[in-house]
Each structure stands twice: as structure tokens, then as C-alpha cells.
Structure 1
């Protein structure tokens, strides 16, 4: 039988607060850890941050003191979970190394969700976004070698290719063209709600990271690149969050948040090779089961509806971090020249897109192009790439058909 979070018992809420010793987790080894362990940590940090933010917003609109007290209790636990998860990342890892792991996470998480998304419009939205994260990974990999004289292979370990996606300079669109059509909450597959919520949380966390670490960089090219890509991440958050049905009630969304946390902790517990990290996924899952039970009770009481109406009755296919090279190369072959127009996708550089390009770039090459040129100047005319299957599939972006230098 499949695992059903709505029927499983978790740890009672009054037994979930941990002391300092329990919160002081040992970070992973940046050199020996599985790159996808880092990706799972980054994902669950994003999920916990989104849960906390959502619960704060709900608290601001809730008039019932008893409910606000319950939300405060569970939100405090979510904050402790976020601290434990995010503190698994090693302090010896540089900001740029963390950034590359963030982009690897964005690429392979989005690609997996797209591959497994049952709704064609949502799938297209994920396919569109992943080619842009793919390009961000390439730009930061070049910056990493310029500044730290190391190669992204050290971080991604060949699991994710590093090469151009949809060029970042083409990703600057008029804000109105980042707003997608929402799914219909009453007819969409429940898995789609979880996929969308996961991507909203993940992209929001990338946006938040770049907003905060960008101005702390010393090198001018790094400051400029973080600034440019942080603006694209704002577009991505709008892109994904607009897919959510605004008619969903506060209590529906609370249940979706809690169910999604159970779904992802359960998924990652199944594949995590590090026993200490896996134990944290298991502990947090058992905490989240209780949070979900409490949220489900609120939905039944305040919406008069059963949570089984909006979420899967059992955990769907578990989310897996794995290489997506063939899938991404097919997208590069077929979708690299897409842009958005209203809620749709087009290949023509329409007037609003061209006007935005002229405005944002001001007749100059943006930082995402400057970083590649600077790399070529410093490294004998070459950009940094890590390709495992020959030439770049799109000849318009072919610079050199070789793997990363030793």
C-alpha cells in the first residue's frame, strides 16, 4: 500500500521543540558529500522557508486567537526545521560554490518535475523555466573559475552538464509576460498542485539568496552577474506562482503546504545515501505528519471540506534527484528560442520583448555576456563548459565542442 500522510500518525506537537544540542547538527563534507544530497538540503530549506512565510501571511489575516496560537506553535517548529536543514550546508563552502549547487538543484528538480507533470500547460511552463536555470549554471560556472580558479565539475560531479541554455540576456521580459494562466483547482491533477508549490518555493529561495549575497561580493563582475540573475529569479517566481489558482482558500493552501512537506521529506528519505541526513528527513517527516493533521482539521472545520478532495490519497511517485541530460538536450534542440507573450509562448521577438531588451540592456552587453567574455580573455579564448555527450545541441550557441579542461 502507498504511504498516505493523511492517515499516518506523527509526533505530537508539544513534543517537537528541540534544544540547542539537537539543533547543532554536523554539516556535510563539501568534498565527499553526494552533490544531490546538497540539492536535497537546498530544496528542503526552500520548502521550510516557504512554509514559514506562508504561515506568517496567514497569521496576519486570521482573526481567531486560538488558531493564531496554533499557527505560531507549528511555525516555530518549522523555523527549527529550517535551521537544522540549512545548517547542514558546510561553512567551508564559498558563496559561489553554494550558488552553483543552487543552480544544479534548480535544473535537475525542475527537469524531473517537468518530466512527470501530467498537465501539458504546466509542463510547458516548467520546460520553459528550466532552460533559463540551465544557462545560469553555465554563467556562474564561468564566474567561479575566474574568481576561485576552480571548475564546477568539482561541485556538480558530472551529474549535470554545464553549457549554455537560453541565453540570460534573452530572459529579460516585460513583467506582464511573466504572468501565466492558473490551473483549475477543482479539475487539475493533485500532483500538479504539489509540483507548482515546490517550484514556487525553490525559485523564491534562489531569488532570496541572490538578493542578499549579491552586494556582498567584492569583484565587480560578480556583483553585476548576481544583480542580473536575481532579476530573472523575480521573473521565475512570478512565472510559477501565477500558475496557482487564486481561488484556493487559506485552509486549502495550508493543507497543500503541509502535505507537500510530507511528500518531499518522504521522497528524499527514500533516496538519501547519508545516514545522518536521512535520519533528519525521517524525523522531520514525523513532525510534518502532525502539522498536516492539524491543518486538515482546520480545513474540515473552517472550509467544511475534506482534505482528500485536494491532495493525493497516497504519496505519488517520489521526487528523485537524478541526471536529466537527455531531456535537457532535447529541450535545447526544440525550445531554446521561445519567449513569452501574455500567458502563451512564441518564437517571434515581439514588440514588447524587443522594447524590454532595449530598455534593460541600454545598448550594452549585460553582465551575463560580460562574464563569458572575461573568461575567454583570461583563459585563452575559451569559456568554461562541462559536456559529457559531445557538441552543444544548438549550433547557434556552439562555441567549442570539448569537455571541461583538466
Structure 2
């Protein structure tokens, strides 16, 4: 079969072009360090690499979210740490105020110190994250959650929403706690709180409430102890009230009711009443508690006699129990923050481990073996050079060379 000169040149040119293209492809893969440059080079490998790349990108986003969540929780932790210090200081000042030897002026000074701590506490409750978002406001984070009202009352204007952040494939984590949960709540395990009524005129001073039988029928209810004609009556706060106990009053003798017992010293006057309520029903607002404590300390005792002293002691006892409950509640929230921070650390470790495995697999799928690629490069280069030399030789053959 005869091959025309044009066909000869076309075929050889095409063959050399194909070899040059293959050589250039090897050069590109060597430069890029990858086994394939397009999905057409290795469809299966390209699909696997794309999937792993997406997984790594998602993991990177989760890591960024965890970093932001950790920053938010650290800010909250700092605010709660400062809150516990303030509450401990208020408790210490409350105990100091119970010293019967100090004067009205001394108590007024203590009231000023506690008022300063209250102002600092409101400031901590209105802590922001540095970007204008308030930590304890729930979803209403654009405005301060606690607002001072007339008469020293502090109102919560936030909500109880939880701001969640996606920190892993199947994990959303709360990065904040609302102010009502932190500053206006008590733990379920908090005990009873006793308080003397504002109109009491006797010298009765209550002691701590003790639990003697948590299985008693009326245990867990709220009670009121009233005095008349030397006798006491304990009634539940049900509608209508139920008498839980009654009898002659003896100073210092335990009064038992609803699985509880309490001792009252001094001599209550007729009509005096004491409220014995569960912590959640006794008033859980720490700002209101501290405000009432300041008012009690600023009330002079001079001229009031034993009745005024008894009223002050009862107010201090009530405040001490409520501040202790608030302190315990903040510690519980702080413990929750620490648990979430520990979880983020664990997720970071797990995420880093997964990333390492994914990157190793991705490397196996797409990373080029330099030794084999260089060997292929020289092989194709030699083949191209041989083809070029052969073509040059064949192209130069002519009968005129032999005449």
C-alpha cells in the first residue's frame, strides 16, 4: 500500500503531538503534586477527593464555630466568677451586720458597701460580649437585660431564649444563659426560707428550718406561723388554708409541721406572723433580696428596743439564706458553663483526629508519587525524542540521495 507524503507527515505529526501532550500532562501533575488535573483523568478519584474536601471544609467551619462558642463561654465564665465573688462579699457583710454591738452608723456604712456591690452586680448582669450583644439577655441581646426602676427595683426585660451554635455534625451547644436563670432563680434542691412579716411587733426571732420527714403529707408546701394568746398556729398557704400544727408557744422549743421543724426565740406579739416557704416561692430575685437587705440596714434601731432588734435579725437571716441560694444557683450555672467548655475541648480533639484521617485519605487519593511521576516523565521524554529522531530520519529518505 502506498502512503502519500501528506498522510505520512500528518500521522507522524499527530503521534508526536499526542506524546507531547502526555509529556506536558506529566509535567503539570508534577508541578501540581496531584495524580489528576481534571475529573476526566480519574472520575472515581476526583469524586472521592471532592467528597473529602467538602468534609474538611465543614469540619473547618465547625472548628470556627467552636472557637467562637468558647470565646462566648469564657466571657460568661468571667462574669459569673465576678458574680460569685460579689455574693460572697455580700454574705460576709450580712454576717458582720448581725453583730449586736455595732451602731446604726456602722450598719449604714455596711448598707452603703452592700449597695455598691448591688450596683456592680447589675453591671455584671448587663455584661456584653464586646460586640454590643448582651450575654444574659436571651434572644433580646441588643439591649441591656436588667433595667433599674423607680425605688431601686431592677426589672428583667430580656427573655429566656437560648442562643445555640452548631459546633459539630450532630451537636448544637448553648453559648449563653438568660438572666432570669442566673439571677432570678434557685436550684430545685434549695430548702425553705423563713421571713418575718413587716407588721410584726414582738421580739420573736426564728432559727433555721430543719427537715425531719420529707415524706410527710404537707412536705413541700408553703406555711405561715401565726401567734395569738400565747399559742401558735401553722397553716398551709392552700385555698382554703389547712392547719398543719397548733399548740402553746414556748420560746426555743421546736415547732413541728409538714415534715419540718423550727425554733423561735423571744416573745412574738399577738398577730405576729412568720412565712416559711419553699425557696422558689419565697422570692428568687437576688436584686430584690439585696435591696431589701440595704433597706433593713439603713433603718435605725435607736428607740426601737428589742422588737426592732428582732426585726433586724430576722431580716438578716432571711437575706443570708436567699443570698446563699442565689450564690449556689450561680455556681451551678458556672459549673454548666465549665461542662460546655470541656465538651468543646473534647470536640476539638475529636475534630482534629477526624481531620487527620481525612487528610491522610485525601492524600492517598490525589497526591502524586514523585518517584513514579519522574520516572514516567523521563520515559515519555525519551519516547518523544526517539519518535522525533525517527521521523527526521524517515523524512530525509529520498531516491535522490542514492543517485
Taking structure 1 as the reference length, what is the TM-score of the superposition? 0.22
Larger proportion of helix: 1
Taking structure 2 as the reference length, what is the TM-score of the superposition? 0.22
